[in-house]
Structure 1
Amino acid sequence: MASFQNDEKANGVKETGAFHAEVLDDKEVLNNAYEAETREQEMGMWEAVKSYPWACLWAFIMCFTIVMESFDMFLNGNFVALGAFRRKYGVMVAAGEFSIPTKWQSALFQSGQCGAFVGVFLAGPITNRIGYRWTTILGLVLMILTILVSFFANSLTLLVVGQALEGIPWGFFIANSPAYASEIVPLALRGACTATLQMSWSIGSIIVAAATYSYNQRNDQWAWRVPIALQWIFPVPLLVLVWLSPESPWWLIRRGRKEEALRSIKRLGSKREGNNEETLAMMERTVEIEAQAGGSPKLTDLFKGNDLRRTLITCFMYMSQNFAGNLIANQATFFFEQAGISPDFAFKLNLINSCLQFIANIVSLPLTGWFGRRTIYLWGTAFNATMLFILGVCATVKQTSGTNYAQACLGIIISFVYAGTLGPISYSIISETSSVRLRALSTGVGRAAYYVAEIPMIYLASKLLNPTGWNLAGKCGYVWGSTAVICWVAAYFFLPELKGRSYRELDILFNRKTPARQFKKTIIDVKDND
């Protein structure tokens, strides 16, 4: 708890922020900053991994907190396909066949997202005050407690309440993880390390797929209670690891805690003499430029001037995750069943699908070093839009076992491409777009936009697939293909290329109102401050 007290006392800094006006007038500090930024610009991905292994580890651990939201999201998607769960809480739609009503199916998905919507708005102000570390620790403690409600729930109503409560710490994790990961690793690793967020989603889906496949033949309450209980395997070890992790040096500098920031940099990075001091100088310079431009961070700043553009890009990237096949991936087992696959084989396919997504996540890591963020997003969206329309065609023609399997295969391909391109690169773009000063607030508001889009889309997805709804099965490909095309057009005109740019350069590019398609070509001198 000493860090809370130090935060208020250190260097006489108020909680509204720290200002170091002397930084931009100190030639030695500026020269160190130039050296550090040039070094990061020239560093390759493999060299960065060798020089900053601990930064990679801590970034992955923080991103791994997302596995809990992933686990629960995919768990709900599998609940509606579990025979025992449907018999307990569903309605009969045919002789011996039960289905969860659309309103409850949607509620199971939406309640956690509603809780997370609250959580992401709480995350920004809390993080600005106590830091990424302590906010994540608070979220993990809340997670341990709220799982109790879901585990002991004996009705759909109570299960929905439990999901809503669990959603609040999810909001903390998803708001903080990409911001923390992007702040502790060098420029060459920002894309890869933030992309591991999608890997955590895949890991969560693999565990859920394995657990529900193992228990889908059970006819009692443990078919769903055991998978819920498995959520407790994550928070305790993560609590220990996050406790041991260093705080973001960027956050410490913003709070005026220079000595602690230097210690954090040393824990994260290179052992070469002088490199850490140069890195500190680079961070101080960027923080001071932003402080002079906007002062201490406030939520309203996200919607003013050049920061409004950055906020809109962040919100767009989060919202677009719902519109290019992701909702099919989230309800894969149920989708396979509606495509005509037998329930037991649908669970097997879901497990295969989850493992393939994990492989796609691994493939995506070097892609972030080879190709630009904008390039990966545009090509991934274009491919998935095409596959979604083909899925719709397969569901429209006369249905046979061949068309059923074709729809299942297309669902797997769409999920694979999403997990290798759109999903991971979205987090990279989100973490890089906002200014350092507003990052904790920006990622929270961006994720809130994701939930604003996802909550009605979950209802729509359930309505599209459910036998008690529109029962369109693979014809939903026409809907999601159309939304994917809209996302592609918007990204083509408004999404800038962020790869290889320092936070200082991005600040300057946005402040100069550089058009999105000109970001890649524009040259910024290492000595430019505005």
Structure 2
Amino acid sequence: MSSDDNAAHMKETKEGLHSDHHVDILHAEVLASSDLMNDAFDGENHEHSQGLWQSVKSHPWACLWAFIMCFTIVMESFDMFLNGNFVALPAFQRRYGVETADGKWEIETKWQSSLFQAGQCGAFVGVFLAGPVTNRLGYRWTTILALVMMNATIFISFFANSLTLLVIGQAFEGVPWGFFIANAPAYASEIVPLALRGACTATLQMSWSIGSIIVAAATYGYNKRDDEWSWRVPLALQWIFPTPLMILIFIAPESPWWLLRRGKKAQALRSIERLGSNSNAEGTQQTLAMMERTVEIEKKLGGEPSLLDLFKGVDRRRTIITCLMYASQNFAGNLIANQATYFFEQAGMTSEFAFQLNLINSCLQFVANALSWPLTAWFGRRTIYLWGTATNITLLMILGICASIPQTNSTNYAQACLGVIISFVFAGTLGPISYTIIAETSSVRLRALSTGVGRAAYYVAEIPMIYLASWMLNPTGGNIAGKCGYVWGGTAVVCFVSAYFFLPELKHRSYREADILFNRKVPARKFKSTVIDVRENE
């Protein structure tokens, strides 16, 4: 083919992508064509040059759709915090609890942990189903399917008349949670520009806080009721979310990365155009070429993605980092936040004040989540994670000391305040930045599978930790109250050491650059300083 013929072919290719007809062109063309490669270079350089605020102005719709997808996590958060509040509701305790020696009523440790663990067991199943289903149907239709399941399974919990049936209902509700938590960070990271990946994936933690605020307000409003509606009304509030979210996600654009992996270039281009504002043909073509280049490079490393690919070659390292980040969320004080009301009661607060303090705690977590957005712009992922972990190690040890000295009103309030501060630090650092790291670490080809398996590691770690957390706080168990700070402080030290040696810095790295760094087996502490040229293909 002559140079004139080649130029004409390239012109037809670009015009075809902007036409109304579906045009599928081999990804390999982007690596063989100097024009498309120049577009890919320009697209990547443009992403690197954009700041946080500039990216927000140029991609407001991408921010909106990322937030909506992340908002599905509210439903898992809602249920998790709701169970934590159920065990502190006086009416629920009298209905399903046992009387202790001091005349109070408590839910037995085995049922407490069952209520917490049931949903996680269901979610464990869901995250393994999410990857294959998403690879087949896409992020949108997989999430819509999960929302339909959520609407149906809420009925079991709402009409439950025993702890056994309530536990079963939680297990069934957990399955769609697995779909939400596997897809939300992956989708959010794929539709926003490079500068927004940290802030938008961090909104996952904000969704957790929104869920906890709604639960804290609902249970505080109903905790004085002496009948079954003190817990049935909060359960019914779950129906607020699925149907509106189904409508919004139905009209949302599919991830252009997923569309390209399926060979649907024309649809991918339309999706890119919908995600930006005032986008021009040249800019969208450059973005498309940049994505194609990465997809084609990864395609050369393997064919159709499978779960086994996660544990082969350099992807094994990426999978281990993802799993460690997810699992570590259970080891640095997060479980104190999940059982905040019950923790406050065991720290010596009255039931009424414990619910009030939980509402304050939830609102402060929301503030911390908002503060995490500028943090992701100013500091690296590794820096935020390490400093956040170190801060919570210190606070958890101080909590243990406060619980070890002779107890007075002052030490009780000190323990409650430390519980709030620990939750605040987690919600502003470890929590949101973990989701950012998880979304950025996996390869594009394996992202849907990687986030699912990573979340499975979270549940494997969380299920026994939930039992331990319940046992430590429960008067019918270990009854060590604030001394649990020693335990969580010790596990947080393990998280800090692991991150120091194995967690790479991926801030300002495109997915192509991340692929190259992992393929070269660059040590974690040298990721930040290693220079990758825009023209390198590996």
Work out whether 1:514 is the aligned partner of 2:522: yes
The answer to whether the Cα contact below 8 Å between 1:71 and 1:204 also exists between their aligned partners in 2 is: yes
Using the TM superposition, give the Cα deviation of residue 32 of structure 1 relative to its aligned residue in structure 2, in angstroms: 0.4
- Partners of 1:26 and 1:241 in 2: CA distance: 38
Partner residue of 1:72 out of 62, 70, 79: 79
Using the TM superposition, give the Cα deviation of residue 296 of structure 1 relative to its aligned residue in structure 2, in angstroms: 1.8
Partner residue of 1:200 out of 207, 229, 232: 207
- Partners of 2:378 and 2:26 in 1: CA distance: 37
Q: Which runs of 5+ in 2 are unaligned?
A: 1-20
Q: What residue identity is the alignment partner of 1:79?
A: F
Aligned Cα root-mean-square deviation (Å): 1.1
Map Cα deviations across residues 256-278 of structure 1 (whole Å, 9 max, x no partner): 00000000000001424211111
Secondary structure in 1 aligned to 2:531? coil
Aligned partner of 1:218 in structure 2 is 225
Partner residue of 1:328 out of 336, 357, 361: 336
The answer to whether the Cα contact below 8 Å between 1:384 and 1:414 also exists between their aligned partners in 2 is: yes
The answer to whether the Cα contact below 8 Å between 1:19 and 1:291 also exists between their aligned partners in 2 is: no
Map 1:267-416; keep pairs closer than 5 Å. Answer: 267-273=274-280, 274-416=282-424
Aligned partner of 1:154 in structure 2 is 161
- Partners of 1:19 and 1:478 in 2: CA distance: 57
- Partners of 1:95 and 1:82 in 2: CA distance: 18
Aligned partner of 1:6 in structure 2 is none
Using the TM superposition, give the Cα deviation of residue 210 of structure 1 relative to its aligned residue in structure 2, in angstroms: 0.2
Aligned partner of 1:231 in structure 2 is 238
Give the structure-2-normalised TM-score.
0.95
Map 1:388-467; keep pairs closer than 5 Å. Answer: 388-467=396-475
Give the structure-1-normalised TM-score.
0.97
Q: Which moved more, 1:262-271 or 1:310-319?
A: 262-271
Secondary structure in 2 aligned to 1:323? coil
Using the TM superposition, give the Cα deviation of residue 21 of structure 1 relative to its aligned residue in structure 2, in angstroms: 2.0
Map 1:22-171; keep pairs closer than 5 Å. Answer: 22-171=29-178
Q: Which runs of 5+ in 1 are unaligned?
A: 1-8, 13-17
Q: What residue identity is the alignment partner of 2:318?
A: R
Using the TM superposition, give the Cα deviation of residue 293 of structure 1 relative to its aligned residue in structure 2, in angstroms: 1.2
Work out whether 1:483 is the aligned partner of 2:491: yes
Using the TM superposition, give the Cα deviation of residue 294 of structure 1 relative to its aligned residue in structure 2, in angstroms: 1.6
Using the TM superposition, give the Cα deviation of residue 23 of structure 1 relative to its aligned residue in structure 2, in angstroms: 1.9
The answer to whether the Cα contact below 8 Å between 1:360 and 1:420 also exists between their aligned partners in 2 is: yes
Call closer, same or farther: CA 1:75–1:507 in 2, change over 3 Å.
same
Secondary structure in 2 aligned to 1:94? coil
Work out whether 1:496 is the aligned partner of 2:496: no
The answer to whether the Cα contact below 8 Å between 2:61 and 2:277 also exists between their aligned partners in 1 is: no
- Partners of 1:190 and 1:295 in 2: CA distance: 27
Aligned partner of 1:15 in structure 2 is none
- Partners of 1:492 and 1:278 in 2: CA distance: 37
Call closer, same or farther: CA 1:390–1:44 in 2, change over 3 Å.
same
The answer to whether the Cα contact below 8 Å between 1:270 and 1:276 also exists between their aligned partners in 2 is: no
Work out whether 1:254 is the aligned partner of 2:261: yes
Map Cα deviations across residues 477-529 of structure 1 (whole Å, 9 max, x no partner): 00000000110000000000010000000000000000000000000000001
- Partners of 2:330 and 2:202 in 1: CA distance: 17
The answer to whether the Cα contact below 8 Å between 2:118 and 2:171 also exists between their aligned partners in 1 is: yes
- Partners of 2:51 and 2:75 in 1: CA distance: 32
Secondary structure in 1 aligned to 2:105? strand
The answer to whether the Cα contact below 8 Å between 1:133 and 1:243 also exists between their aligned partners in 2 is: yes
- Partners of 1:503 and 1:73 in 2: CA distance: 33
Map Cα deviations across residues 176-204 of structure 1 (whole Å, 9 max, x no partner): 00000000000000000000000000000
Secondary structure in 2 aligned to 1:154? coil
The alignment of Structure 1 onto Structure 2 pairs a total of residues equal to 517
Map Cα deviations across residues 73-101 of structure 1 (whole Å, 9 max, x no partner): 00000000000000000000135411001
The answer to whether the Cα contact below 8 Å between 2:327 and 2:458 also exists between their aligned partners in 1 is: yes
The answer to whether the Cα contact below 8 Å between 2:273 and 2:279 also exists between their aligned partners in 1 is: no
Aligned partner of 2:12 in structure 1 is none
Q: What residue identity is the alignment partner of 2:75?
A: M
> Percent of aligned positions with the same letter in both sequences?
75
Using the TM superposition, give the Cα deviation of residue 20 of structure 1 relative to its aligned residue in structure 2, in angstroms: 2.1
- Partners of 2:353 and 2:378 in 1: CA distance: 37
- Partners of 2:167 and 2:161 in 1: CA distance: 11
- Partners of 1:299 and 1:384 in 2: CA distance: 34
